[in-house]
């Protein structure tokens, strides 16, 4: 049977290569995901290993919230800077280096901010005793108007040693001169790094005499554990000492957790691609069985057992899986290499290795093979059951099984799925509402796939009616696609899944944009908005300069930080109580936001109150880097505009988190009555221009920017979903090509009775278009219907305004026509070139 299987592959190479390509595309995603994760992991692990070199670290003993370091983990209370001399006096300590760092904005040679992708921008205090720093050119900064730049930052900035530029440090603009180039042990994945002298760093980043941690280096012969034991008695109750190895392990674990989410996200799309590819493989082997019915019957007649026939088909599927997986592994690594170069061109250097490890290869090969075998199992069983008597007949036919059982299964799945979706919509506040919606949506999709042959016959008759005036092309095309609804539905199924996901994504994006616009229109009353990019913050000095303008009535900043609220890390926003009603209008569920903030109390979102069991009047404990406070819940609000569970007075947030650790991404500006908005905008623009990173927007532009952020996510989503659409197109090409082979004699007869080559090619094209449009229409209908439930189920998280992008959906329908035409080119040309006499005599 092995020889039979290999001969079958050689005899049908086109079918074999198309099936291999379907597997390879899905496996490439799997292999590429694992390789990308390993490369990212090793990149950030290298950063940790080469920049965190201390033998021990003194840090806060109390967790204060999520870390803002960029490496994940948690932040802690600050430790006194005056611990440094105490630590250095401990026997066995060679030196102690405080962590002096904060946000910075460097202006490059072109006058714009130096930023690579979304990587952060930091300033560090330069200490020649730090073994992670290597001065490679110039000298160390020694005054407040001098800086040194990290090697990659110097290159991307376009500056040179001796140049003068500006830098925004702790919210202040400074004219500085570049005096040195510093190399770190590892490239920082695109981060912008500026070094200042130690005195300046202490004044800027430790104004209250507190730092996040102190790195301690042991003298020769002192182990890390011994060093920790000697330091523990002298650091105080609010500080703890950990070994350097423990800190590096914790940071690495936090990185792995973040990368684990990315891996899961990408593997979901890999699974979708493989699922779609399975349709092609199953359809291919089903048609292959139909075409070789007599050959299989002859095998049975000469003594082959059903198991041997089954094994021959499965062996072919195994070969498809192995070859496809091998190609996919190579392609996946190639994609990561390309991605690495693209990111390098954008300034994000990934130094991690691109692995070809046994785990990646093994998982990829197993997945590709199992998917192929599973997809071919049902056609292989059908082939094994071909009776030997079929070899004796002149006309060999394979009776089509009834669609009744499949339709019943599909209807049951649809009923269960619709019931689960309805349950989620009826109880949107339940903890399991999201899960119910997800399970229900999955059941609906599977149910539609199951009943699609029944739908195909009815829907294609309607769609095909448009082509009936084109005689005889239209009638032949409609008859061909409705004659075998199971095959047509299976061919369209791959495209159906892809388009369902694309349609749902389009509705989600439009709904998010419409909801954001409605929220801003309803809750924001400011005349202008100042915005900083995601990795930056509006400088404090810029805020003071704006408030000093005569035409500005108020400039209300919305600062955010992570605190531990009743023991759990929670995102918190701090605002001036006077901003309520002046810059923002909030719906109060209980109590009053304005009154609560004015009284030093806090407000919590309704959903957070439900999840955490908070009620009006409860007292909660808030812990930040600078200490712990208790506060009363003075209001419960329902405001998507804040986007955080807890809102506190700005003064309270400043007591808990140093200003340098707060992020102010948005400032609402209200102008005085009667001021000309155009003139005020010009003043605002001129005022914030020196700070480089601040942008002035009107409310419409603010909404547009938020919508653009959704579009950026959508572009990534579409690119990933595009892979499933590409695989689906391959499925249509594959099915049409095999259909041409299967109908060779029929095509010859049509040509013999006068059907022209162009007409024949048009018939194939019309079949392809009908199949593609059917898959697209059903897929979009399912995707849009399911996505339309989201505002009901997830209204609490901001999706409140349903918006269906009809123009985008029509564009996708037009794309289906284009897809159908392109997919038919190869099979149509092949059919038109068939020799009439040879085709008529084909058995």
Helix then strand then coil, % of the chain, to nearest 5: 60, 20, 25
Nearest Cα to Cα of residue 28 among 363, 285, 358, 384: 363
Q: Residue 694's closest CA among 549, 530, 544, 554?
A: 530
Distance CA 544, CA 611 (A): 38
Per-residue confidence at 36, pLDDT binned at 50, 70, 90?
A: confident
For residue 129, count CB atoms less than 10 angstroms from its CB and return exposed for 0-12, middle for 13-18, buried for 19 or more. exposed
Is the pLDDT score of 416 beyond 80? yes
The confidence score (pLDDT) of residue 394 equals 47
Which of 45, 50, 67, 76 has its CA nearest to residue 252? 45
pLDDT bin (cut points 50, 70, 90) of residue 826 is confident
pLDDT of residue 195: 93
Residue 759, SS3 per DSSP: helix
Point out which residues pair with 243 in neighbouring strands: 56
Integer angstrom CA distances of residue 90 from 159, 205, 217, 222, 290 = 43, 26, 11, 12, 84
Q: Is the pLDDT of residue 577 over 80?
A: yes
CB 536 within 8 A of CB 693: yes
Higher-confidence position of 44 and 667: 667
Q: Is residue 533's pLDDT more than 50?
A: yes
How confident is the model at residue 11, as a pLDDT? Answer: 56
Nearest to 650 by CA among 552, 566, 545, 543: 543
**Does 303 score more than 80 pLDDT?**
no
Instruction: Find where tokens 């609402």 sit.
Output: 668
pLDDT in tens, 602-616: 999 888 888 888 999
Cα torsion at 457, 459, 465, 468 (round to 10°)? Answer: -40
Query: Which sign, positive or negative, has the C-alpha torsion 514, 518, 524, 526?
Result: positive
- Residue 802: phi, psi to the nearest 5? -70, 130
Residue 788 pLDDT > 50: yes
Residue 63 pLDDT = 74
CA distance 831 to 839: 10
pLDDT over threshold 60, residue 520: yes
> Which tops the pLDDT comparison, 68 or 629?
629
């Amino acid at each position: 049977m092995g020889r039979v299987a290999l001969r079958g592959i050689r005899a049908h190479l086109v079918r074999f290569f198309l099936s291999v390509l379907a597997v390879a595309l899905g496996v490439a995603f799997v292999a590429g995901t694992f390789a990308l994760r390993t490369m990212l992991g090793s990149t950030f692990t290298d950063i940790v290993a080469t920049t965190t070199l201390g033998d021990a670290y003194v840090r806060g003993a109390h967790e204060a919230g999520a870390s803002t370091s960029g490496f994940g983990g948690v932040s802690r209370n600050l430790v006194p800077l005056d611990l440094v001399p105490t630590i250095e006096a401990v026997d066995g300590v060679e030196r102690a280096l405080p962590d002096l760092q904060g946000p910075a904005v460097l202006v490059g040679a072109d006058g714009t901010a130096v930023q690579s992708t979304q990587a952060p921008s930091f300033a560090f205090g330069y200490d020649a005793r730090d073994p992670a720093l290597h001065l490679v050119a110039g000298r160390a900064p020694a005054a407040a108007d001098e800086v040194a730049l990290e090697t990659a930052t110097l290159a991307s900035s376009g500056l040179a040693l001796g140049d003068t530029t500006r830098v925004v440090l702790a919210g202040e603009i400074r004219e500085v001169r570049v005096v040195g180039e510093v190399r770190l042990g590892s490239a920082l994945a695109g981060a912008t790094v500026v070094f200042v002298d130690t005195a300046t760093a202490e004044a800027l980043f430790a104004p209250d005499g507190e730092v996040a941690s102190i790195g301690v280096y042991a003298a020769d012969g002192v182990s890390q554990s011994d060093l920790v034991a000697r330091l523990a008695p002298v650091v105080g109750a609010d500080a703890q000492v950990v070994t350097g190895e423990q800190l590096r392990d914790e940071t690495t674990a936090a990185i792995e957790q973040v990368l684990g989410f990315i891996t899961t996200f990408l593997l979901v799309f890999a699974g979708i691609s493989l699922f779609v590819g399975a349709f092609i493989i199953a359809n291919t082997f089903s048609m292959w069985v139909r075409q070789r019915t007599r050959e299989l019957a002859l095998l049975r007649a000469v003594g082959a057992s059903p198991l041997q026939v089954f094994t021959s088909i499965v062996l072919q599927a195994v070969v498809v899986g192995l070859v496809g997986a091998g190609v996919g592994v190579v392609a996946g690594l190639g994609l990561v290499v390309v991605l690495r170069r693209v990111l390098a061109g954008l300034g994000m250097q990934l130094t991690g290795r691109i692995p070809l490890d046994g785990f990646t290869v093994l998982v990829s090969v197993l997945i590709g093979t199992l998917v192929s075998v599973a997809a071919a199992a049902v056609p292989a069983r059908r082939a094994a059951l071909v009776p030997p008597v079929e070899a004796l007949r002149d006309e060999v036919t394979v009776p089509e099984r009834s669609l009744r059982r499949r339709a019943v299964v599909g209807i049951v799945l649809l009923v269960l799925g619709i019931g689960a979706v309805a349950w989620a919509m009826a109880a949107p506040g339940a903890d399991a509402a999201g899960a119910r919606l997800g399970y229900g949506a999955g059941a609906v999709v599977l149910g539609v796939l199951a009943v699609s042959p029944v739908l195909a016959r009815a829907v294609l008759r309607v769609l095909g009616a448009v082509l009936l005036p084109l005689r005889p092309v239209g009638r032949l095309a409609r008859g061909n696609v409705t004659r075998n609804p199971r095959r047509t539905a299976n061919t369209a199924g791959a495209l159906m899944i892809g388009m369902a996901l694309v349609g749902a994504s389009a509705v989600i994006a439009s709904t998010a944009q419409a909801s954001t616009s409605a929220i801003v229109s309803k809750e924001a009353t400011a005349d202008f908005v100042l915005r900083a990019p995601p990795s930056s913050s509006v400088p404090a000095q810029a805020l003071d300069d704006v408030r000093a303008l005569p035409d500005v009535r108020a400039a209300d900043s919305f600062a955010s930080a992570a605190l531990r609220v009743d023991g759990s890390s929670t995102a918190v926003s701090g605002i001036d109580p006077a901003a309520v009603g002046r810059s923002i209008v909030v719906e109060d569920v209980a109590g009053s936001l304005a009154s609560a903030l004015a009284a030093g109390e806090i407000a919590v979102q309704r959903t957070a109150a439900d999840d955490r069991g908070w009620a009006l009047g409860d007292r909660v404990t808030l812990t930040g880097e600078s200490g712990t406070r208790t506060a009363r819940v003075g209001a419960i609000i329902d405001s998507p505009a804040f986007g955080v569970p807890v809102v506190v007075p700005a003064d309270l947030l400043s007591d808990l988190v140093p200003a340098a650790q707060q992020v102010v991404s948005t400032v609402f500006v209200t102008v005085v009555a009667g001021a000309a908005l155009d003139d005020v905008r010009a003043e605002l623009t001129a005022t914030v221009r020196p700070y480089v990173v601040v942008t002035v927007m009107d409310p419409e532009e603010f909404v547009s920017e938020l919508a653009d952020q959704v579009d950026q996510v959508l572009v990534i989503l579409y690119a990933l979903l595009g892979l499933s659409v590409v695989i689906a197109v391959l499925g249509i090409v594959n099915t049409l090509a095999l259909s041409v082979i299967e109908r060779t004699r029929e095509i010859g007869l049509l040509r013999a009775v006068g059907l022209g080559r162009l007409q024949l090619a048009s018939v194939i094209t019309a079949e392809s278009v009908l199949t593609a449009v059917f898959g697209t229409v059903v897929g979009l209908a399912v995707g849009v219907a399911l996505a339309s439930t989201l505002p009901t189920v997830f209204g609490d998280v901001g999706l409140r305004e349903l918006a269906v992008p009809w123009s985008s959906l029509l564009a996708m329908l037009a794309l289906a026509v284009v897809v159908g035409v392109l997919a038919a080119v190869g099979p149509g040309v092949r059919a038109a070139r068939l020799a009439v006499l040879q085709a008529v005599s084909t058995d």
